[in-house]
Chain A
């Protein structure tokens, strides 16, 4: 079983660069990849510009955002010990999206820089805190999810309302983006804006890995193992808010990744909540990159929304997991 798991992890690791190559080779224009790669970053030919300035930042952004969502989902499920917890379900994503919408559509300049990310993280943090407060201390899984659904629905409605009255000709169609996400037309500027916040999030979650391990035994056991400090849950929340908020500010709300990815890969790390963080990041990155390849190759009048594609890819796996659980195994 252990060897089988290692092989699966190795396969995941090998699949990511392959998917990256697939993403770099996908697009409406046929590009000579080898000559474009040889020309390098500063190449002036169309092929080089398309590869280095359009396809590469988009693919890397898909990897980063997918990793942030996967890791955020794993951390949230570990902290709340709830298999249904995920950043989007608990309002973190919509909190970040609402903050970004208010900032972007009501007075901020185009090139707002770090402030947008900082506000998105603030929004994510506030939403998570609101869910926590609403559910109450020591809330059951059901109550927490109920609080999450309520806050999430309220924030989504606020996003739609804010966009409805936004002074933009495209305000209403952009509700769809903020609620379903998109990586279209993103460049290095967005990638570099999101990167530091994703890094801070990953760092925060790294420092809490042993707490998550201890927490798997229950809160009392974690306390007896020396993890009494309230700083740990705060650090996890900060990590999730930073990673997911940073991702949402540039790519919108992409659901399903944070929920389904930890479930898919949990058997590979033998339920270890700490190692689950890394493997979820890897699988999240792969899932979102594959979803984006589908989006790029989909021919239609409007670009397919990536949030819909992640659900299409992830849902069958989820069905399979549920059927497995019904046979009395895990989940």
Chain B
């Protein structure tokens, strides 16, 4: 490595910091923020100043997705460019997928549209949190969430491990490469789902694998056949013995908001299971 390398690294770091600061400074000036994505709606509701929010998607007000009350002045949109233009937003947040046509149309009309990447793994989640910070600035709740996540991830992994398997709606399980799998691993569980990514798992396989912890996903308040497997009487013994945990629905909708609590709860659950054994 040459003697100039540290100086060059310093230069690039300063440039990046400068860019973030410029963005941040700009971000603090945003007073009419609109969102085209449910997760981004919830991030704004949780972390941004209510007065700075101009519009959110209608989903954030829908019964099954509503997490916080919507401020009265906020307009609900169905991700259509014509709805957002009259609101004159100074920042429109769009997700990686969905509402792409509206985002493109708004951008073509000169609106400031920023795409926030989706997160399906811990690495992507950290990138997403950085992206939020870059565009919204160092909001105190965002900073707190980042610090809490770093602290949890820095903890040494547990030596006495337990086994777990996820049984989500429609008999779906989460294998390696997925955020849910990584959270289980970090919390000290061995995920018994041998597959990569999303895969089908039958009730027979769940029974045959005999996990220490059976992990459900999302607490559906309304009837759905998709949840029949999770409500099958054959799983009653797991429920009766307290060897179940339900990943919050929020983790799949917007992991940035739910990841810290979920990881902490999984760590606590493993500790309780190990003690009980």
- Residues of A whose CB lies within 8 Å of any CB of B are 27-29, 46, 49-50, 53-55, 104-105, 108, 110, 166-171, 173-174, 177, 182, 184-189, 301-303
Across the interface, which residues of B come within 8 angstroms of A105, CB to CB?
222-223
Across the interface, which residues of A come within 8 angstroms of B225, CB to CB?
170, 174, 177, 182
Excluding A46-B210, A54-B204, A184-B228, 18 further A-B contacts by CB distance (< 8 Å) are: A54-B232, A54-B234, A105-B223, A166-B222, A167-B62, A167-B64, A168-B222, A168-B223, A168-B224, A170-B169, A173-B170, A174-B225, A182-B225, A185-B171, A185-B203, A189-B233, A302-B170, A303-B171
Pairwise interchain contact B223-A53, C-beta atoms closer than 8 A: no
Residue of B nearest to A177 (CB): B225
Across the interface, which residues of B come within 8 angstroms of A49, CB to CB?
207, 234
Across the interface, which residues of A come within 8 angstroms of B72, CB to CB?
none
Chain A to chain B contacts (Cβ below 8 Å), 21 pairs: A28-B204, A29-B205, A46-B208, A50-B204, A50-B207, A53-B234, A54-B207, A54-B232, A110-B223, A110-B231, A166-B222, A167-B222, A168-B220, A169-B169, A170-B224, A170-B225, A173-B226, A174-B226, A177-B225, A184-B171, A186-B228
In the assembled complex, the CB of B195 is this many whole angstroms from the nearest CB of chain A, namely 11
Across the interface, which residues of B come within 8 angstroms of A177, CB to CB?
225
In Å, the complex CA distance between A50 and B225 comes to 21
From 145 to 180 in chain B, residues with beta carbon under 8 angstroms from any chain A beta carbon are 169-171
In Å, the complex CA distance between A29 and B201 comes to 11
> Chain A at the B interface: mostly helix, strand, loop or mixed?
loop
Pairwise interchain contact B234-A104, C-beta atoms closer than 8 A: no
Residue of B nearest to A174 (CB): B225
Residue of A nearest to B200 (CB): A301
In Å, the complex CA distance between A325 and B220 comes to 52
Pairwise interchain contact B202-A108, C-beta atoms closer than 8 A: no
Interface presence of B229 (CB below 8 A): yes
**A interface footprint on B216-256 (CB within 8 Å = 1, 0 otherwise):** 00001011111011011110000000000000000000000
Interface presence of B63 (CB below 8 A): yes
In Å, the complex CA distance between A166 and B221 comes to 12
Given A170-B170, A185-B171: A29 and B223 within 8 A (CB)?
Answer: no
Across the interface, which residues of A come within 8 angstroms of B223, CB to CB?
104-105, 108, 110, 168
Across the interface, which residues of A come within 8 angstroms of B200, CB to CB?
301-303
Given A169-B220, A170-B224: A187 and B208 within 8 A (CB)?
Answer: no
In Å, the complex CA distance between A124 and B169 comes to 29
Residue of B nearest to A51 (CB): B204
Pairwise interchain contact B205-A28, C-beta atoms closer than 8 A: yes
In Å, the complex CA distance between A174 and B220 comes to 15
Across the interface, which residues of B come within 8 angstroms of A53, CB to CB?
233-234
Given A173-B226, A184-B228: A168 and B208 within 8 A (CB)?
Answer: no
**Total contacts A-B at CB 8 Å:** 79
Across the interface, which residues of A come within 8 angstroms of B64, CB to CB?
167-169
Pairwise interchain contact B204-A187, C-beta atoms closer than 8 A: no
Pairwise interchain contact B228-A50, C-beta atoms closer than 8 A: no
In Å, the complex CA distance between A28 and B199 comes to 13
In Å, the complex CA distance between A60 and B247 comes to 34
**A interface footprint on B119-161 (CB within 8 Å = 1, 0 otherwise):** 0000000000000000000000000000000000000000000
Pairwise interchain contact A27-B202, C-beta atoms closer than 8 A: yes
Pairwise interchain contact B208-A171, C-beta atoms closer than 8 A: no
Pairwise interchain contact B233-A188, C-beta atoms closer than 8 A: yes
Residue of B nearest to A186 (CB): B228
Across the interface, which residues of A come within 8 angstroms of B203, CB to CB?
54, 185
Across the interface, which residues of A come within 8 angstroms of B222, CB to CB?
105, 166-168
In Å, the complex CA distance between A302 and B234 comes to 22
In Å, the complex CA distance between A251 and B190 comes to 36
In Å, the complex CA distance between A185 and B222 comes to 18
Across the interface, which residues of A come within 8 angstroms of B233, CB to CB?
53, 187-189
In the assembled complex, the CB of B247 is this many whole angstroms from the nearest CB of chain A, namely 15
Across the interface, which residues of B come within 8 angstroms of A167, CB to CB?
62-64, 222
In Å, the complex CA distance between A180 and B200 comes to 20
Across the interface, which residues of B come within 8 angstroms of A187, CB to CB?
232-234
In Å, the complex CA distance between A186 and B231 comes to 10
In Å, the complex CA distance between A27 and B171 comes to 15
In the assembled complex, the CB of B149 is this many whole angstroms from the nearest CB of chain A, namely 26
Residue of B nearest to A108 (CB): B223
Pairwise interchain contact B63-A185, C-beta atoms closer than 8 A: no
In Å, the complex CA distance between A167 and B224 comes to 9
Across the interface, which residues of B come within 8 angstroms of A170, CB to CB?
169-170, 224-226
CB within 8 A of A185: which of B205, B208, B229? B229
Residue of B nearest to A301 (CB): B200
Across the interface, which residues of B come within 8 angstroms of A184, CB to CB?
171, 228-229
In Å, the complex CA distance between A188 and B171 comes to 19
Pick from A29, A166, A173 the residue with the most CB of B within 10 Å: A29
In Å, the complex CA distance between A186 and B226 comes to 12
Pairwise interchain contact A169-B224, C-beta atoms closer than 8 A: yes
CB within 8 A of A46: which of B171, B207, B226? B207
In Å, the complex CA distance between A86 and B203 comes to 34
In the assembled complex, the CB of A101 is this many whole angstroms from the nearest CB of chain B, namely 10
The 5 closest A-B pairs by CB, nearest first: A170-B226, A185-B228, A29-B204, A170-B224, A53-B234
Pick from A46, A186, A301 the residue with the most CB of B within 10 Å: A46
In the assembled complex, the CB of B26 is this many whole angstroms from the nearest CB of chain A, namely 36
Pick from A49, A108, A174, A185 the residue with the most CB of B within 10 Å: A185
Across the interface, which residues of A come within 8 angstroms of B205, CB to CB?
28-29
In Å, the complex CA distance between A170 and B220 comes to 10
